[in-house]
């Protein structure tokens, strides 16, 4: 079965203690700002991701599903570059038999966290007040 998926391309531009990551798929582009992290836990800080609107074409809303896809693709790319960031997943993903703290969500939460995987990911996105989207 052929899976139709967006192919994403990333490029990191460093300007001293901060910079941007240029993110592109076939038709759209957005820059994501980052800062160098002062801690040994991360190399860069990028969460919460401000990815509500494309930069090109301008002012077009990015759907929540596409935001989650971008988050996951960027996370994979950063890990291939051996860059640790605050959008990384917890080292060990285990689930507890305790429900996610979000609203009526019926998923089990990640061990040691309040949320299930989906709501954990949504919590890394900026202005996503309605985590349930
Ligand atoms: Zn949940």
pLDDT per residue as tens digits for the range 47-101: 999 999 999 999 899 998 999 999 999 999 999 999 999 999 988 899 999 999 9
Residues near ion ligand 1 (CB < 5 Å) are 100, 102, 105, 107, 116, 119
Calculate the CA 115 to chain-centre distance: 15
Q: Is 51 in contact with 34 (CB distance < 8 Å)?
A: no
CA of 125 to the centre of ligand 1 (A): 15
The span from the CA of 71 to the CA of 55, in Å, is 16
CA of 49 to the centre of ligand 1 (A): 19
CA of 108 to the centre of ligand 1 (A): 7
pLDDT of residue 45: 97
Mean per-residue pLDDT of the chain: 91
Predicted confidence band of residue 44 (pLDDT cuts 50, 70, 90): very high
CA of 95 to the centre of ligand 1 (A): 12
CA of 99 to the centre of ligand 1 (A): 8
Q: Is 67 in contact with 58 (CB distance < 8 Å)?
A: no
Q: Is 119 in contact with 105 (CB distance < 8 Å)?
A: yes
């Amino acid at each position: 079965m052929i899976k139709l998926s967006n192919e994403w391309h990333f490029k990191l531009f460093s300007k001293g203690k901060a910079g941007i990551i240029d993110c592109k798929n076939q038709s759209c582009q957005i820059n994501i700002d980052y800062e160098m992290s002062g801690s040994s836990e991360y190399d860069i800080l990028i969460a919460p991701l401000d990815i509500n609107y494309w930069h090109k074409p301008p002012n077009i809303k990015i759907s929540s599903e596409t935001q989650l896809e971008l988050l996951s693709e960027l996370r994979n790319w950063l890990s291939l570059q051996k860059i640790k960031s605050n959008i990384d997943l917890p080292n060990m993903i285990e689930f507890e038999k305790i429900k996610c703290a979000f609203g009526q969500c019926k998923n089990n939460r990640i061990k040691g966290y309040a949320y299930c995987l989906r709501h954990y990911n949504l919590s890394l996105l900026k202005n996503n007040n309605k985590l349930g989207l």
